[in-house]
Amino acid sequence: MPTPYSDTNFHTENIRAFAAEVERLTDGELVIEVHPGGTLVAHAEIADAVQNGDVQIGEVFQSTLSSRSPLFGADGLPFLATSYADAQRLSDAEFDILTRILAEDGLTPLYSVPWPPQGLYSKQEIIDPIDLNGAAFRVNNDILNGFAAELGASPTRLEVSEIPDAFRSGAIDAMMTSATTGVSTQSWEYLDYYYDLQAWLPKNIVFVNSDALAALSEENRQAVFTAAQNASDNGWLLSQINAVEAIKALFDNGMTILTPGQDLADSGEGGAMRQVSPALLTELERASQAIRESWLQTAGSDGQQLIEAFEEGQE
């Protein structure tokens, strides 16, 4: 089982617990060997490797599958699902659609787990949105690529492992990702500002080769599904815990935290807290609406159905 993230990442820790439970429930008949950090298969190649049967099971950042269908990018639409409750509703709304699309490629989804809410990182504080014009902006999927371009920035696609050197060399000036990624890459060593925007909660998805799954005994197949449900439940909880701990870690290591909220903690040991520029928030909302409309044009009737189901769940 190849995975894209390091052993210390909570997603990988959750996957190791999933693998251990599968082995326990099957009395050792089914053993999943986890290969983290892209050491067995590069992130961009994991889905193809599972589909082709080179490996049996894998994990990817869900929106990396957008080249197969734009529906996989719904969880990356800026300012659509901005809380864990919203993310759960979106996950429920998209499940049947994504299952059908994956089945066409011989893949069966097992579970997905969100990252903490996404925020903005920058070297210099961004007060006027014009500051983003021409800025080299790290992206990791097609939707974020379009979002950065809509803001006037220059999208630059990079994996997480490349982020520190890219900032230090000046190859990128800003990025949107979770506080968790900021901690794992020790962003305080090369950045000063984190904007806690709660912009969206993208997910990692775990899937298995359908033929490999079908080849298991009924008992072992059920064990996989049971362990997957438990991994889903545990992963969502870990994400929420991590969301709080990661922002505290950024603050404790001296970063300035900017938030849309009115209630700000007093600056103390570590960093400081301030409000995000209202002009920046207005521009981010404008760009997000433009990206959502563009996405709906490419996602077709399935995309419209997904958004309607999500919005009905909010009522």
Q: CA angle, 81 as apex, 188 and 67 as ends, to 5°?
A: 85
3-state helix, strand, coil in the chain (%, to 5): 55, 15, 30
Query: 221-229: long-range contacts at Cβ-Cβ below 8 A with a sequence spacing of 24 or more?
Result: 223/22, 223/25, 223/26, 223/30, 224/22, 224/30, 224/110, 225/110, 226/21, 226/25, 227/18, 227/21, 227/22, 227/25, 228/18, 228/110, 228/111, 229/111
308's CB contacts (< 8 A; 6+ apart) are: none
Full strand arrangement of the beta sheet holding 256-259: 154-157, 136-139, 174-178, 118-122, 193-195, 256-259, 272-275
What are the pLDDT tens digits along the chain (315 aa)?
A: 999 999 999 999 999 999 999 999 999 999 999 999 999 999 999 999 999 999 999 999 999 999 999 999 999 999 999 999 999 999 999 999 999 999 999 999 999 999 999 999 999 999 999 999 999 999 988 899 999 999 999 999 998 989 999 999 999 999 999 999 999 999 999 999 999 999 999 999 999 999 999 999 999 999 999 999 999 999 999 999 999 999 999 999 999 999 987 555 555 566 788 899 999 999 999 999 999 999 999 999 999 999 999 998 665
Fold of 118-199+255-314: D-Maltodextrin-Binding Protein; domain 2 (3.40.190)
Location of structure tokens 């950065």: 148
Q: Taking a C-beta distance cutoff of 8 angstroms, is the pair 89, 310 a contact?
A: yes
Question: Kindly report the CA angle at 198 between 194 and 199, in degrees rounded to 5?
Answer: 100
How far is the C-alpha of 196 from the C-alpha of 128, rounded, in Å? 17
Residue ranges of the domains in the chain? 10-115+202-244, 118-199+255-314
Would you state the pLDDT for residue 273?
87
Q: Any idea of the CA torsion for 79, 85, 86, 88, to the nearest 10 degrees?
A: 130
One fold for 10-115+202-244 and 118-199+255-314: yes
Of 200, 207, 148, which is closest to residue 158 (Cα–Cα)? 148
- SS3 assignment, position 184: helix
Say how many C-beta atoms besides its own lie within 10 A of residue 246's C-beta. 21
CATH architecture designation of domain 10-115+202-244 = 3-Layer(aba) Sandwich (3.40)
Q: What is the pLDDT of residue 315?
A: 54
